[in-house]
């Protein structure tokens, strides 16, 4: 048995959805050992106690509202020592990936980021798989024990059911170093321009459009299909370069890398810079009028045809199936 600590991340209105996935992965990895959530920052802990953890440790002082990476690493190491645990899992967020290195150095652990598969052998070493070179290859690593720090790629692990009854919650004994460390000073906050649906990087379904839609007015078809699916809206670089939608919509090597359960590419030919940003999606559906478009080489399902005819029909069927 090996205990696991899951570092939980607050978002407006609760806990980041990828934290639930991390808790599920921790449960499988612990092998019957304790699974402990670490919740940093002031606020309610109810959502955290509903995850698949045995206990939630909180560090909710005002000095941890915007913790520095040094503070987060020290708190994660302290939580692992208290659990006790041999593995710390961070969710696949920007802050989570940033926290892995600092925590591993402080705790004397081996580390890996963007992990999509992980198992533990009898010696205590972890065997992990993760995408590299923009998703064009998969790397397999053996991480020696006894301690490990990982961040998980979003949507690579299933979301377990909510815990019932909720887990217990108690304060973490704060070590001296986080108390004396200076927190991050937030000087401003500007929301990223995006669609009406979920945030692009966290969405389990993404619908993206390309120049095959022919005009910015037709891009509304992408947004209508995304709305019917409860999906995030993405775009190819050609679309954002043309000014049809803001750069924050761009999926690709120079935009956002996404790994949803379902990625739908509409009128996107499949340039390599776009493919490396979405190829790790679990299921890829492509609609393109060119049967030789590169996007079909990575698609699980392909429809050869005019997106302007196919997308409205698809949206109607989705709405009918969902009773919308």
- CATH code reported for the domain at 4-180: 3.40.50.620
Q: Kindly indicate the confidence band of residue 62, based on its pLDDT and cuts at 50, 70 and 90.
A: confident
3-state secondary structure of 206: strand
Model confidence pLDDT, tens digit, residues 145-173: 899 999 998 888 888 888 889 999 999 99
Domain-by-domain residue ranges, the chain? 4-180, 205-322
Please give the pLDDT value at position 196.
67
Half-sphere exposure of 46 (CA within 13 A, CB side): 3
Look at strands 117-120 and 126-132 and give their pairing: antiparallel
Residue 98: pLDDT above 70? yes
Please give the pLDDT value at position 195.
59
Residue 194: pLDDT above 70? no
Q: What's the DSSP call for residue 251? A: B
Residues 173 and 161: their CA atoms lie apart, in Å, by 29
CATH superfamily ID and name for 205-322 = TPP-binding domain (3.40.50.1220)
205-322: same fold as 4-180?
A: yes
Cis peptide before 146 (omega within 30 of 0): yes
């Amino acid at each position: 048995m090996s205990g696991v600590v899951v570092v939980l991340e607050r978002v407006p209105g609760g806990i980041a959805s990828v934290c639930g996935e991390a808790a599920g992965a921790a449960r499988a990895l612990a092998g019957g050992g304790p699974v402990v959530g670490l919740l940093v920052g002031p606020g309610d802990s109810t959502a955290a106690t509903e995850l698949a953890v045995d206990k939630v440790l909180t560090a909710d002082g005002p000095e941890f509202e915007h913790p520095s990476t040094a503070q987060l690493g020290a708190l994660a190491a302290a939580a692992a020592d208290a659990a006790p645990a041999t593995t710390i899992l961070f969710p696949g967020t920007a802050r989570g990936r940033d926290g892995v290195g600092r925590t591993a150095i402080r705790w004397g652990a081996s580390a890996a980021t963007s992990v999509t598969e992980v198992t533990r052998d009898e010696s205590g070493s972890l065997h992990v798989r993760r995408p590299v070179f923009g998703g064009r290859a998969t790397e397999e690593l053996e991480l020696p024990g006894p301690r490990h720090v990982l961040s998980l790629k979003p949507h690579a692990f299933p979301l377990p059911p909510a815990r019932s009854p909720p887990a217990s919650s108690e304060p973490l004994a704060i070590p001296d170093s986080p108390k004396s460390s200076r927190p991050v000073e937030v000087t401003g906050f500007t929301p990223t321009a995006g669609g009406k649906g979920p945030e692009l990087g966290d969405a389990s379904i993404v619908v993206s459009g390309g120049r095959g839609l022919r005009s910015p007015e037709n891009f509304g078809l992408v947004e209508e299909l995304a709305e019917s699916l409860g999906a995030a809206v993405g775009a190819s670089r050609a679309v954002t370069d043309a000014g049809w939608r803001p750069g924050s919509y761009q999926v690709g090597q120079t935009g956002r890398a996404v790994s949803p359960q379902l990625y739908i590419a509409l009128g996107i030919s499949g340039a390599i810079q776009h493919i490396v940003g979405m190829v790790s999606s679990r299921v890829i559906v492509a609609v393109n009028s060119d049967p030789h478009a590169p996007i079909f080489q990575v698609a699980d399902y392909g429809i050869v045809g005019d997106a302007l005819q196919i997308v409205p029909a698809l949206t109607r069927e989705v709405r009918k199936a969902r009773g919308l």
